[in-house]
Amino acid sequence: MAKYYVTVADAMTQAANTFAAVQTLPDGGTLSSIKVPPGMTKITVLGAALTHDGTATIDTGNNFTVQLSGTGLTDGIQEFNVGALAVQEVGTSVGAALVAETANYRDVEVNVKPGEIVVSAAYDGTDPGAPFLAVTLGFE
Amino acid sequence: MTQATTTFAPVETAADGSTAGPIAIPPAVKMIKSITASVVVDGAHSVNTGPIFVLRLTGTGALPDGNQDFVLGSVHHPNGGGTVTDTDSVILKPLTIPVNIAVNPGADLALQAAYYGTDAGSPQLSVEIEFS
């Protein structure tokens, strides 16, 4: 079970199928890469939450992928499916709804070594407007 | 949570309404075993906003491995062009994260929360910490 947790997030303003850095700390600071904490040998937990932070583009659906890269990964680049967002509209009305979703935490087994880890993310499909992703990595 | 985006603020009101402040880590306790949390917007939820919420564990001398940050979840109130009046409800199960975080007994553990994205109005967060 993980002992050390770090969280980064970002709005995903890039085009579809394009990785971009996820590097904003919850206090607004920038963490362009995560230094593997001393003594840690694995990432064993990956938590993620998705949202549309703004007006979502109707009739879009997107799957999201988190990529880990950098010198701190023993086995090279790793990619994870972290879920999907979809917005649909029937007819020409403008609908409304309320959505709340807990973050999804899953077990992973990624070997790490002293070095840096860069978190990036991409989505497939059509640009949904204002997707936003937050990621927590748990080290042990 | 009345603060601006990407700004941590204390989470320190007990369930009975009293101000609990930081949590005194009980004697003989060595670790946090799990974290359970839920968050909703208590008030009008600004349309077309979708913040993502984060919990921070901190406190001087409380955590041998330093601050710990956890993503908790997200909310979104889509309203397209904003021309429709809607009434919605959500019943949300809490999120439980099994963890193994070392703590120092006798120290004060502080809980803080922040959100990414756009202010939704008045988010309300509840956190349970399981010590072992």
Instruction: List the domain boundaries for chain A.
Output: 4-44+52-87+102-139
Distance CA A25, CA A14 (A): 19
Of B72, B74, B100, the CB nearest to A1: B100
Least confident of A88-92, B43-47, B105-109, B117-121: A88-92
Residue B20: pLDDT over 90: no
What are the chain A neighbours of B6 within 8 Å (beta carbons)? 24-28
What are the chain B neighbours of A135 within 8 Å (beta carbons)? 71
Residue B15: pLDDT over 90: no
Percent of chain A at pLDDT above 70? Answer: 96
pLDDT at A93: 59
Distance CA A25, CA A31 (A): 6
Region A30-39: mean pLDDT is 95
Residue A109: pLDDT over 80: yes
Task: Provide the whole-model pTM.
Answer: 0.90
pLDDT in tens, A38-97: 999 999 999 999 999 988 888 899 999 999 999 999 999 999 999 999 888 766 656 678
Q: Nearest CA to CA, how far is A76 from chain B (Å)?
A: 25
Residue B115: pLDDT over 70: yes
pLDDT at B79: 79
What are the chain A neighbours of B124 within 8 Å (beta carbons)? none
Residue in B with minimal Cα distance to A106: B97
Distance CA B111, CA B129 (A): 10
Q: Are A136 and A26 in contact (CB under 8 A)?
A: no
